[in-house]
Amino acid sequence: MTANAVLTLPDGQTVALPVVVGSEGEKAIDISRLRYRTGHITVDDAYENTGSCRSAITFIDGDRGVLRYRGYPIEEVAKRSTFIEAAQLLIWGELPTTEQRMRFSDLLTDNSALPEDFRRHFSGFPPHAHPMSILSAMINCLQAYDLPGQVIDDEEELERVAASLISKVRTIASAAYKSSISEPIMYPRYDMKYTENFLHMMFSRPYRDYVPSPEATRALDLFLMLHADHEQNCSTSTVRMVASGQANLYASAAAGVCALWGRLHGGANQAVLEMLTAIQTSDVSIHDYVTKVKDRRSKVRLMGFGHRVYKNFDPRALILKKAADDLLDQMHVADPRLELARQLEAVALADDYFIERRLYPNVDFYSGIILTALGIPVEMFTVLFAIGRMPGWIANWAEIHRDPESRIYRPRQVYVGQTERPWLLQSQRGGSSEPDPV
Ligand code: SDX
């Protein structure tokens, strides 16, 4: 029996609204019939209190710092899985059997190379082009080379297109980087697994192979796994919006890349490292910097801190903080910015400004330290986030396309502009008295 919330309007009209309870006990008021029954809509700037969908992919409890992929705690996934296995879990809902894992691995390998004439597009971008602009353009361009993939009617076709996108996004990213440093674009190797192959394409040269260490490969695989999905964040909601109109998977993923680019979202990992570097190379003390952050007039934020959902530690940040420690130890690399990040975290977590606002380190606070240790340039950080998030975008796209009841997303608005008014002739508008255009 569904319980109801009762809404009483100023005119005394009351309406019963069903309360929906999720599998983890979250409660939501279903307002899908509100406008039809009362003529009212709701308004919720930035969707802070609005659930856009019912989804079974990822669960977050922001108050308790809980994150689960299809019911598996992120700590277990990080310890026991790989990025590609996590991708299959997110997209198809279960941990893959050996046969499923082998089949998907073969599809990734078979779909890792870019069409030969596709590669010439990279030379069309100026060297200073941001790789996120290249990535979104090239993902959209991929669909022109995969016309059958523009219509996905069954799981077999979804598996092929998913493998193509997950595999090629890595090849495109490395090609964008190589083009930006005027080095030859490297071909993927068919004897390498996903993450190792990406590092090969990023850092090998035709005359000299780069062989990543197992520690470096594992650290990057962990980074990608932790970024794989995060319920209805800005970029995933964008993918769902585009998918709801029945745009194809390539177009939806390209839209996700553009949304992720924002510095408040996926662009934050680049902004964190730039912040740490700026503090490190300036004579500004940590306390002075934090004081500036707390002064709202400065408009300076502590990048990598705060989250719309987590009002506790982001579990991914805790895992990445330890991974950064371990990787630098294993590589015998010292990065003073890691120590600086630790000090910033300690100062912020003891400061009432951050405590009152429940601001904690998020996934971006330590991730850049790992990427820097791997030799990934800061301009590529958000691209790495996009590579990691691709399985989550695909899983959300598929969740919409598997749902026969799915409808196009089309929010309403509260109009606050001009009410109806008479047309103004040119002569009535002020300025020079030009004749009217028609
Ligand atoms: C990601 O949604 C997801 O799941 C995203 C993500 C994913 O995996 O997809 O987790 C990835 O995007 C992580 C977030 C990365 N962004 C940053 O690190 C940028 C810095 N953080 C913020 O700008 C901010 O915390 C947001 C954007 C993450 C969240 O913003 P909200 O929820 O809109 O919060 P808000 O801006 O309304 O802030 C509430 C208060 C304000 O102060 P008051 O008006 O109450 O005085 O907290 C303050 C803010 O000024 N505040 C900060 C702050 N974040 C919030 N003050 C200083 N530094 C910060 N980082």
143/181 Cα distance (integer angstroms): 27
In the reported structure, the alpha carbon of residue 303 is separated from the centroid of ligand 1 by a whole-number distance in angstroms of: 8
In the reported structure, the alpha carbon of residue 352 is separated from the centroid of ligand 1 by a whole-number distance in angstroms of: 16
Label each residue of 15-37 as H, E or C.
EEEEEEECCCCCEEECCCCHHHH
358/310 Cα distance (integer angstroms): 8
**Closest among 382, 346, 254, 361 to 314, alpha carbons compared:** 361
User: In this prediction, what percent of the chain has a pLDDT beyond 70?
Assistant: 100
Q: Atom 32 in ligand 1: which residue has the minimum CA distance?
A: 308
| CB count in 10 Å sphere of residue 94 | 10
DSSP 96: P
| CB count in 10 Å sphere of residue 407 | 8
What is the pLDDT, as a whole number, of residue 1? 55
Angle at CA of residue 335, ends 330 and 336, nearest 5°: 140
Q: Atom 5 in ligand 1: which residue has the minimum CA distance?
A: 233
What is the pLDDT, as a whole number, of residue 288? 94
What is the pLDDT, as a whole number, of residue 150? 86
230 is an active site residue: no
Indicate the SS3 state at residue 5: strand
Residue range 100-114, pLDDT digits in tens: 999 999 999 999 999
- In degrees and rounded to multiples of 5, residue 149 shows phi and psi of -75, -5
Q: Atom 52 in ligand 1: which residue has the minimum CA distance?
A: 301
Whether 9 lines ligand 1, by a CB cut-off of 6 Å, is: no
In the reported structure, the alpha carbon of residue 239 is separated from the centroid of ligand 1 by a whole-number distance in angstroms of: 21
**Closest among 46, 42, 52 to 412, alpha carbons compared:** 42
What mean pLDDT is predicted for residues 143-150? Answer: 90
Whether 372 lines ligand 1, by a CB cut-off of 6 Å, is: no
Q: Which residue in 229, 314, 335, 364 is the catalytic one?
A: 364
Residue 127's pLDDT band, with cuts at 50, 70 and 90, is: confident
In the reported structure, the alpha carbon of residue 438 is separated from the centroid of ligand 1 by a whole-number distance in angstroms of: 50
What mean pLDDT is predicted for residues 164-175? Answer: 98
Q: Which residue in 221, 307, 314, 401 is the catalytic one?
A: 307
Whether 316 lines ligand 1, by a CB cut-off of 6 Å, is: no
130 is an active site residue: no
First to last CA, the chain: 63
360/382 Cα distance (integer angstroms): 20
The ligand 1 atom at the shortest distance from the C-alpha of residue 266 is 12
What mean pLDDT is predicted for residues 75-86? Answer: 98
Whether 364 lines ligand 1, by a CB cut-off of 6 Å, is: yes
What is the pLDDT, as a whole number, of residue 325? 93
Q: Atom 41 in ligand 1: which residue has the minimum CA distance?
A: 357
The ligand 1 atom at the shortest distance from the C-alpha of residue 307 is 28
The ligand 1 atom at the shortest distance from the C-alpha of residue 60 is 4
Whether 264 lines ligand 1, by a CB cut-off of 6 Å, is: yes
In the reported structure, the alpha carbon of residue 308 is separated from the centroid of ligand 1 by a whole-number distance in angstroms of: 6
In the reported structure, the alpha carbon of residue 132 is separated from the centroid of ligand 1 by a whole-number distance in angstroms of: 22
What is the pLDDT, as a whole number, of residue 148? 87
In the reported structure, the alpha carbon of residue 306 is separated from the centroid of ligand 1 by a whole-number distance in angstroms of: 4
Averaged pLDDT score across all residues of the chain: 95
Q: Atom 9 in ligand 1: which residue has the minimum CA distance?
A: 233
What mean pLDDT is predicted for residues 213-224? Answer: 97
What is the pLDDT, as a whole number, of residue 154? 92
Residue range 7-63, pLDDT digits in tens: 999 999 999 999 999 999 999 999 999 999 999 999 999 999 999 999 999 999 999
The ligand 1 atom at the shortest distance from the C-alpha of residue 301 is 58
